[in-house]
Amino acid sequence: MNITIIGNGNMARGIGTRLVEGGHTVAIHAKDVTKGNELAAHLNTLTKTAGVTVAPIGSETDDIVIVATPYTEIENVAKEYDGLAGKIVVDITNPVDFNTFQLIPEPGQSGAQHVAELLPEAAVVKAFNTTLAGPLAAGNVEGKELDVFIAGDDGDAKMKVSEMVKSSGMRPVDVGPLANARHLEGFGLIQMAVQDQLGTQWMSALKFLG
């Protein structure tokens, strides 16, 4: 698949690593081209196909666009990139107010639904928000495959994201409609809150066993 990642931070690196190791073609869209080139160069060391480029968004060949920016940047991203219309857009964000350490959306709402409102012509799928960047880069935790929880209202889009996840060495778990993203975002918040307690240096993973 051809996949664009917007952002060049920890999650872009972690998800990008899994994607190139799964044989996908990745385009990094970075605000800062130098940082984008650095990430692309790193990812290209992991793939024999040299499939990582730094590119503007909107290429007709993109199957999926992963927005790997802070939640608070999503409105800017939606305004800045016309190319998101008609795409499968993966929202990986944890919409957390870091002053209060509570979720930003009102109770019963989710950041993912807000993203879908901002991008009415895209098929928005929530995924990866409970999968930490370190384990993504490593590909596993203690040898166990990573679970990637996926919520969305467009069945075809969810299936395509699931295929991307599976072919990149992880297990997709469909958790239902986009409204269920609020539960994933709650899990994401709790996962962040317990990291010090766990003492695993952010190398833990949420997974269904069995």
Ligand X SMILES: NC(=O)c1ccc[n+]([C@@H]2O[C@H](COP(=O)([O-])OP(=O)(O)OC[C@H]3O[C@@H](n4cnc5c(N)ncnc54)[C@H](OP(=O)(O)O)[C@@H]3O)[C@@H](O)[C@H]2O)c1
Which uninterrupted H or E stretch holds 185? Answer: helix 181-193
Residue nearest to ligand X (CB): 9
Please choose, out of 5-13, 19-27, 58-66, 115-123, the segment that lies near ligand X by the rule CB under 6 A: 5-13
Output 44 or 195, the one with its CB closest to ligand X. Answer: 195
Please choose, out of 41-49, 128-136, 141-149, 162-170, the segment that lies near ligand X by the rule CB under 6 A: 128-136
Output 26 or 210, the one with its CB closest to ligand X. Answer: 26
d(CA 147, CA 173): 7
Residues in 97-126 that interact with ligand X by CB under 6 A? none
d(CA 202, CA 207): 15
Its sign, for the CA torsion 13, 15, 18, 20, is negative
Residue 68 touching ligand X (CB under 6 A)? yes
Its sign, for the CA torsion 115, 128, 54, 124, is negative
* Nearest-approach distance from CB 48 to ligand X, in angstroms: 26
Would you give the binding string for ligand X spanning residues 149-188, x where CB under 6 A is met?
A: ----------------------------------------
Name every residue whose Cβ is closer than 8 Å to that of residue 110 and which is 6 or more positions away in sequence. 95, 126, 178, 179, 181, 182, 184, 185
Contact positions vs ligand X (CB under 6 A): 6-12, 31-32, 35, 68-71, 73, 76-77, 92-94, 129, 132-133
